[in-house]
Amino acid sequence: MASLLLQALVGYVGLVTAWKLWKWLFVESPLECIPGPPVLSRIGGNVQQLFEENGWEFYYDTLERYGAVARLKGLFGENMLLICDPKALHHILVKDQLVYEEATEFIAMNQLMFGEGLLSVLGEQHRKQRKMLNPVFSITHMRAMTPIFYEVTGRLHQALVNQVKTGSKEVDILRWMSRTALELIGQSGMDYSFDSLKDDHDDVEENSYARSVKRFGGLLSGPGFFFACNYLFPLTNRLELPCFKRWVLDCLPSQWVRDVKDVADTMENTALDICKLKQKEIDAGENDESKKDIISILMRANASAAEEDRLTDREVVGQVATLVFAAMHTTSSALSRILHLLTKRPEVQEKLRAELLEARKNNSEDELGYDQLVMLPYLDAVCRETLRVYPPLGTLSRTARKDMVLPLAKPIRTTSGKEITELIIPNGTTIFISITGANTNPDIWGPDSYEWKPERWLEPLPEKVSEAHMPGIYSNLMTFLGGSRACIGFKFSQLEMKVVLSTLLASFKFEDAGKKIIWKMPGIASPNVEGTDATRPALPMILSLVDKQ
């Protein structure tokens, strides 16, 4: 039976390939006239360049040479677009967002990994889930969760003190940021501890859920991921019978598929256990308003909601894995990037430390409250500038569900020299939203747009920044996207970053360890030491205690 299944899968892939080849040879696309980079292969197109681990050079070169709109080639000549034009992004993410949906393969992958969480659903189901979750990400709730953030970060602080109390030491800061981000979302998201953060004892390695979340990040690259996203996930997603779908995955002779399945199983089982525990507390009257974690609030609100607004048990369980993965990887990446930049720019580190120490001196308590943190100008400038130049996720995709006309803010020239102000988008076209390109567009941010300069946020920004009307929900940037699928937890992420930085920089000095660091793509950017195993990201730096005299 397994061999028959394999034959069926090969046949399916063959049909898809034949269809793409037929379109390439006989169907003329209106996108063919859009300028774009040359392809390495007439079969593979630009896919390898765009998704390889060291693809930043190709990515930035494409933005510099072709501007806000570039045509890319997919498998067998399929036309795709890389776009950061603000007017086009407004139509894609806001005005016509129901037409430009998440790519089918992206939704299918998320459903496999996270169940029916916020990242895995579309349309009315997504609207209903977001409505239910919005209150727990309000500023009022962020203020209430700030003490939880400080409790977790305090444990991190003590662990690092124990590391360097006898003198400076090289530490892998990515490992500590990942452990901390996971424990922060565990405690504030579901009142659940993944990691004690005690000394150098790595509870993460002993916790199967945490280990699975870390493994999943490493599975989001390579030929296995590309093949699965384009062929396997869309196929299995069409299978309405869960048991049969599971049998299909069990029969496939692929180690990558087995790894993904094992990770998904562990994440789902842990999410189920957490939700069952919460439900027992609610049934016993132990889960009251004093419980401030996200899942407790969600489950209480869901129980009292009208029938038509209520989420299913599967949808509630799906939020656990969704929140943990989204909060852990993106925030740990952003925090690691900031600390890495501060080792390269010690004068910025010193200026930021001085601001934090001065704020603490004028504060009755050692911990800065939510309102004090968000009012620190240089801390805010460092965070904003890092999220502008180095967003954790540099690219996202959408797929046009019908033929569309996409207007542009700035005209482009076709390969024939004709100037156009709109694009004809055929049904099924894949569009890559360039978050990095939108955040660093020289036409908007000026000739120094690619430079990391926190000071730019301490003075009025160029008028073109506001005039561009970028549809992002944060600081005229696309880092957290825009529209109904914008990042629901962006205030959570900012608070997390500021609490961690304010705690660490007041006590520790971070210095370059003298090792060349390469930030990998695709997916969420992660640091690696040059010449080491790409599946084991790391960010070593020299850590020492600050002399506060």
Collect all residues with Cβ–Cβ distance below 8 Å to 186 and sequence separation of at least 6. 192, 193, 194, 195, 324
| Phi and psi angles of residue 545, each rounded to the nearest 5 degrees, phi first | -75, 145
- 275 known member of a binding site: no
Beta pairing partners, 527: 519
Tokens representing residue 251 in the block: 């029969």
Say how far apart CA 510 and CA 349 lie, in whole Å.
Answer: 8
Do 406 and 425 touch, CB atoms closer than 8 A? yes
Assign 82 to helix, strand or coil. Answer: strand
Compute the 3-state secondary structure of the chain and give helix, strand, coil in percent, each to the nearest 5: 55, 15, 30
Cα dihedral value 223, 229, 235, 237, nearest 10: 140
Q: Smallest Cα–Cα separation from 71: which of 435, 423, 464?
A: 423
Say how far apart CA 296 and CA 422 lie, in whole Å.
Answer: 47
| Phi and psi angles of residue 30, each rounded to the nearest 5 degrees, phi first | -70, -10
Do 56 and 390 touch, CB atoms closer than 8 A? no
| Phi and psi angles of residue 387, each rounded to the nearest 5 degrees, phi first | -70, -20
Do 381 and 531 touch, CB atoms closer than 8 A? no
The per-residue DSSP string of 349-409 comes to HHHHHHHHHHHHHTSSSSSPPHHHHHT-HHHHHHHHHHHHHS-SB-EEEEEESS-EEEEEE
Tokens representing residue 228 in the block: 């699965």
| Phi and psi angles of residue 524, each rounded to the nearest 5 degrees, phi first | -75, 125
Say how far apart CA 34 and CA 88 lie, in whole Å.
Answer: 15
Collect all residues with Cβ–Cβ distance below 8 Å to 539 and sequence separation of at least 6. 172, 173, 174, 336, 339, 340, 517, 527
**How many CA within 13 A on the CB side of residue 164?**
21
Binding residue ranges:
487
Binding site per annotation, positions for heme: 487
